[in-house]
Amino acid sequence: MFALTATQAPLNSKCFQMELEEGSQLWHNQFGHLSYSGLKTLSSKQMVNGLPTITISREICTHCLAGKQHQKSMPKKSIWRASNKLQLVHANICGPINPMSSSNKR
């Protein structure tokens, strides 16, 4: 629908560029933290164009470690239990909210 005219940026330009890890770690991140054995499979079967030979990185991926950590489970029984109606009320409270709604509610 729209005609775009694009020019190549100069090689020394730093605008909108960021430095990333090189090699296997970069591909590990780009494929959503896929395991290195999975990356090797993609490389050996030539399932991805331009994927280089993958070597297992010695660098520990902090994102993968955080995803493997276990959370403390919720307690099965509460220490305190309400004995009367409305003794304990759970509610989501926030406000005033901006912008106002079409009926001027906040």
Residue 89 domain flag: no
Residue 38 domain flag: yes
Report pLDDT for 101: 85
d(CA 28, CA 83): 54
Report pLDDT for 96: 81
Tens digits of per-residue pLDDT, 51-99? 888 888 787 888 898 888 888 887 888 788 889 998 888 887 787 888 8
Residue 100 domain flag: no
Tens digits of per-residue pLDDT, 4-36? 666 666 666 665 555 555 678 888 888 999 998
Q: Which domain holds residue 38?
A: 24-68
Number of folded domains that form the chain: 1
Residue 44 domain flag: yes
Residue 99 domain flag: no
Instruction: Return the biggest CA–CA distance within the chain.
Output: 73
For the chain, what percent of residues have pLDDT higher than 90?
A: 5
Residue 35 domain flag: yes
Extract the tokens encoding 67: 């995803």
Question: Any alpha helices (H) in 1-106, and if so which ranges?
Answer: 24-30, 36-44, 62-68
Report pLDDT for 22: 64
Residue 3 has pLDDT above 80, yes or no: no
d(CA 79, CA 89): 16
